[in-house]
Structures are given as C-alpha cells and as structure tokens.
Amino acid sequence: MKRQLKHMLCLLLLFAATGCESFLDEKPDNALVVPATLQDLEALLDDHSVIANNYPSMAEISADNYYLTDVDWAGLPEEEYRRAYIWEKDRVFLPRRNDWYYAYRSVYSANTVLETVEKIHRTPAEAARWDNVKGQALFVRGSSFLQAALLWAPVYREGTAATDMGIPLRLGTDFNEPSVRASVEQSFQRIILDLKAAVPLLPVTPVHVIRPSRSAAYGLLARTYLYMGNYPLAEVYADSALQLNATLMNYSSLNAAASFPIARFNPEVVQHSLLMSLNPSLAVSRARIVPELYDSYADDDLRKTVFFRNNGDGSFAFKGSYSNSGLFGGIATDELYLTRAEARARQGKVPEALDDLNALLITRWKDGTFVPLTAGDQAEALEIVLQERRKELVMRGLRWMDLKRFNRDGAGITINRTINGQEYTMPPHDPRYALPIPEDVIELSGMQQNPR
C-alpha cells in the first residue's frame, strides 16, 4: 500500500508546486491506489522520505557555522553547489530535485490528506484517529510553509509584511490552479492558522516522535513567533510545549569519544526530522566548524567534545546531531528552553530567562563544574542567551533565520567566506537573504523572482 501510494504521488507531484494548465498526456496506471481510508492517509503521512527526511538544507548551507577549504569547494560535484556556498544571486539550486521541490512535495501530501479526510466519516470509534490524521497534515503543511518562508521570503517586518513578497500558499491539489506569491503577512498568518488548528487534533504523546504531537505544534508556533519578533507569544507557546515535555539529557552520561555520541530519537526530541543530504557541502568530511564558534566553548563545557570531532589538522567537524549521522532538523526541548529564555529576556524578565538558561546549561557541563550565569541588566542577559543559542543549536538549520531576524533588529552582522583568496560577503539586509526561487519553477509558474 505505501509503495503504491508513493508511486502515485511521484506521478502527481511533477507539477504540484508550480501549477499548470494540463496534466500528463499519458493515462495514469489503473493499478495506482487513490487514498480513501484513514489507513491510506496514515501511509502517506508515514512516508518519511517525503515528510520527515527531506527538510530543506539550504538555510544551513548558507549560514556561518561552517566553512569549506578551497579543495573541498572545488571538489563539489555540481556548479550549483559551489554557487550556493558563495551566495551567488542565481542558479544555486539544481533543477527539479531541490529544496523547493521537497518542501512543496510535503505540502502536496498534506493537502491530499486534508482533502480526503473530510470525505471520511468521523465515527465515534475512530474519532481520535481521524483527528490525529488531520492534525498531522495541518502540522506538515504549516511546517513546510514555514521552511519555505524562511528561505524564499524576506525577513518578517511588521511595517512591510503586508506588501513584501512571501511564498505561494498551495492549499489544494488542483494542478490547474496557478501558483501566485502571497504576501509575507499572508504567508505567516497561514502558517500560524495551520499550526493552531493542528494543536487540539494532535495527541500529547505520539506513537513515535517522527509523527508530530501537540508539543511539536506548540514548538513550531514558538519558533514562528520568535522569528516574527512577537516575544510574548513566543514565550507562551514555548512554555506550552515545555509543560508537556521538558526533558533534558545530562551530557555527562554520553560517550563523547563516540563517532556520534547522541542517540537518534533521544529523550529531548519532540519531533524528529532530517535536513536533506542532497547538497554535499554539509558532509562531515567537508564542513569544518568556524574557529570562532569552536573556541567559544569552555573546556568544561561537554558540548566541546560531544559536538565536535578533531580532524587532526587544526580543524573540527560536527558530530553532535540529534539524529546520529544525519543533520537534525526537528524540534527538541533544548531549543524550547532557549526560545523561552530569549523571549523572556527581550521582555525584561531577566531572572526567569536566566533560570531557563541555567536549567539547560547545567546538563551540558561536566558534573560539579557549572556556575550559574548571572547578568547585571536586560542587555547582558539577552547577550548571554543569544551566545548560548548559537552554541547549542549549531548545524540545525536555524542559524539562517536567526541571522535574518537579528539583522532586522539592528545587529549588523556581516558573514564572510573566502575561496581561492577571494572574499565573499553577505552584509546585513542584503536581498540575497531571500534565496532565489529555482529558475525552473519561475519558468513553469510565471511567478515573480526575488530581487537581487
């Protein structure tokens, strides 16, 4: 059943993200299964190659957590990969199979479920299962739209969000409906609407953390509001998530010498997903952690050995993923503690912010060595929280959204890369912070490209 559904989706998804005036000339295979039952819909949502294992990785590729040597950059197998690393203005995605395709592939799966589940009678015996299916689909669509907005839309600014170009909001499976770009405001309101609608439908405890839960939906709402700069609501939703799951691992119990010390599906994982590995820039054999980040960890901070592997040449690779060998792209309790701490610090709740931060950090340092952090005022507390956010959430695909929002708020961060003696820079407010939509998508859909 899962294989038949997957074949059907692969056929249908050819034009799902762009819209078209006609479908395929060839008649579809009569053996393909049209989803019609809750079991069918669960099979679509449990296809992790579509839903959970291909989150866009370009945010991490574009951010400043790592660097490539000249040799490794030159050895990338595609020109688009080399262009992406140095923030070129166009042609940074391979055609067809790219971050856009995978984001909207998930959207299409979610829309298929949402359209079909309404045709299935919600019986008392199957009510919880029906709700869970619909809630999962809403979560998947909201999450996919959020990933797309963080990549292809300019940063959320309250004053201009109503007119800034956002993303296409595909809300159905009709290929004949053209794709048009909603505003940034409309894009984020849809994300919020989907995630809020998912909350009461999802279970508190999922069958497995690959499936979303109520705390996962709260966590994504917290991430969304943090990015938007709505700190009271970021605090509310991070707190709601932590009320359901506040577990933290003690890093002293981990084997820091292991190739990958942190277990997949560990107790901190609220919802598990992976950044796609299509672009090899992030391979552990290539991506080297920038020295200033590695040097920011104190010697008694266990993250210095749990997160990083010595390459033997003075550089370090990242090995601390919450998904073992793959790069974790989901939601975990450590992010929720940091979101609540930042939201509280920005509201002047300094003691509460430091309580959150210290609760996290005591689990990251060698037993008996951690001294709780203090701050003299709100500005110092916020600075400490943001430093720890950078150190804790490394290589999770979150740094790009942080750079965008920090620069919106006046941080003035310029990031740099050097290849073959030539320096490439990404200054604050550069239009390239909204990545170019893949050229084949523009050609098929007629949508307006991001300004360069």
Return the structure tokens found at 92: 């940074």
Beta bridge pairs of residue 183: 165
Q: Could you tell me which of 147, 141, 120, 132 has the C-alpha nearest to residue 16?
A: 141
Calculate mean pLDDT across residues 354-360.
98
Note the Cα 216 to chain centre separation in Å: 13
Asked whether residue 42 is assigned to any structural domain, the reply reads: no
d(CA 337, CA 328) in angstroms, rounded, equals: 17
Q: Where are the alpha helices (DSSP H) in 252-398?
A: 291-294, 303-306, 333-346, 350-361, 378-392
pLDDT category, 406, cuts 50, 70, 90?
Answer: very high
Residue 104: is its pLDDT beyond 60? yes
Residue 27: is its pLDDT beyond 80? no
Residue 13: is its pLDDT beyond 90? no
pLDDT digits (tens, 9 = 90+) for 198-220: 999 999 999 999 999 999 999 99
Asked whether residue 255 is assigned to any structural domain, the reply reads: yes
d(CA 367, CA 48) in angstroms, rounded, equals: 38
Note the Cα 195 to chain centre separation in Å: 15
pTM here is 0.93
Which amino acid is present at 278? Answer: L
Residue 16: is its pLDDT beyond 60? no
The reported pLDDT for the residue numbered 33 is 63
Asked whether residue 240 is assigned to any structural domain, the reply reads: yes
pLDDT category, 65, cuts 50, 70, 90?
Answer: very high
Residue 70: is its pLDDT beyond 60? yes
Residue 125: is its pLDDT beyond 80? yes
Residue 19: is its pLDDT beyond 70? no
Note the Cα 58 to chain centre separation in Å: 10
Asked whether residue 254 is assigned to any structural domain, the reply reads: yes
- How many domains does one find in the chain? 1
CA dihedral 50, 51, 56, 57 (to 10 degrees): -90
Which amino acid is present at 276? Answer: M
pLDDT category, 21, cuts 50, 70, 90?
Answer: very low
Asked whether residue 194 is assigned to any structural domain, the reply reads: no
d(CA 95, CA 82) in angstroms, rounded, equals: 15
pLDDT category, 54, cuts 50, 70, 90?
Answer: confident
Asked whether residue 354 is assigned to any structural domain, the reply reads: yes
Asked whether residue 353 is assigned to any structural domain, the reply reads: yes
Residue 7: is its pLDDT beyond 70? no
3-state secondary structure of 2: helix
Higher pLDDT, residue 48 or 142: 142
Structural domain boundaries, residue 342: 230-270+288-317+331-394
Q: Could you tell me which of 386, 436, 381 has the C-alpha nearest to residue 407?
A: 386
At 172, give phi and psi (nearest 5°): -155, -175
Scored b (16 or more CB within 10 A) or e, 197-208 reads: bbbebbbeebee
Q: Rounded to the nearest 5 degrees, what angle is found at the Cα of 52, between the Cα atoms of 440 and 276?
A: 50
Asked whether residue 37 is assigned to any structural domain, the reply reads: no
Q: For residues 120 and 38, is the Cβ–Cβ distance under 8 A?
A: yes
Q: For residues 332 and 273, is the Cβ–Cβ distance under 8 A?
A: no
The reported pLDDT for the residue numbered 175 is 85
The chain-wide mean pLDDT, for the chain, equals 93
The reported pLDDT for the residue numbered 97 is 85
Q: Rounded to the nearest 5 degrees, what angle is found at the Cα of 407, between the Cα atoms of 405 and 410?
A: 115
Q: How many helices and strands, by DSSP H and E, does the chain display?
A: 18, 10
The reported pLDDT for the residue numbered 2 is 46
d(CA 227, CA 288) in angstroms, rounded, equals: 27
pLDDT digits (tens, 9 = 90+) for 423-442: 999 999 999 999 999 999 99
